[in-house]
């Protein structure tokens, strides 16, 4: 019963000993041990995928914040009065354009990465 409770609580760092007293009980214990090993392996993969997903989300968020911050700052300056200086206006609009292009590229790259990841996971199943 201890083994069943361990498995129930995802505590999988143990092994079941197989006795030779009763063949049927031994087979049952062997089957449970195999299930425990497979469940442990499956959960480890699932936990790693979750960690990878968190890391990827954090990286994408960082990559998106940088151009957005630049765009926001330049837009604030434009709103505050760069309309009077055409050269400055042109520079700032160029910076905004460059960063929106980078932003768009980051989004497309993230979408491709997610799509590739989904297709890879579907092939594994």
Length of the chain: 125
Does pTM top 0.75 for this prediction?
no
Long-range contacts: 95-99, Cβ < 8 Å, 24+?
Answer: 95/70, 96/70, 96/71, 99/67, 99/68, 99/70, 99/71, 99/74
CB proximity list for 3: less than 8 A, separation 6 or greater: 14, 16, 32, 36
- 8 A C-beta contact, residue 35 and residue 3: no
> At 121, is the pLDDT very low, low, confident or very high (cuts 50, 70, 90)?
low
Q: Which of 109, 120, 124 is nearest to 64 (CA)?
A: 109
Confidence at residue 125, expressed as pLDDT on a 0 to 100 scale? 54
For residue 96, give both structure tokens.
């905004």
Cα–Cα distance measured from residue 2 to residue 12, given in angstroms and rounded to the nearest whole number: 12
Does residue 100 or residue 117 have the better pLDDT? 100
Distance between CA atoms of 106 and 63, rounded to whole angstroms?
7
The 10s digit of each residue's pLDDT in 47-103 is: 998 888 888 888 888 877 888 888 888 888 777 776 677 788 888 888 888 888 888
Q: Which of 22, 19, 18, 23 is nearest to 33 (CA)?
A: 18
Percent of the chain with pLDDT over 70: 86
More confident residue, 97 or 1: 97
Tell me the pLDDT band of 43, cut-offs 50, 70 and 90: very high
Q: How sure is the predictor about 21, in pLDDT bands with cuts at 50, 70 and 90?
A: low
């Amino acid at each position: 019963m201890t083994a069943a409770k361990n498995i129930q609580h995802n505590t999988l760092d143990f092994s079941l000993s197989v006795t030779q007293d009763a063949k049927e009980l031994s087979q049952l214990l062997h089957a449970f041990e195999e299930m425990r090993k497979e469940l442990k392996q499956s959960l480890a993969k699932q936990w790693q995928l979750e960690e990878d997903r968190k890391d990827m989300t954090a990286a994408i968020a960082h990559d998106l914040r940088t151009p957005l911050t630049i765009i926001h700052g330049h837009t604030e300056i434009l709103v505050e009065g760069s309309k009077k200086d055409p050269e400055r206006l042109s520079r700032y609009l160029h910076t905004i354009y460059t960063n929106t292009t980078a932003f768009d590229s980051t989004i497309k790259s993230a979408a491709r990465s997610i799509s590739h990841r989904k297709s890879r996971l579907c092939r594994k199943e």
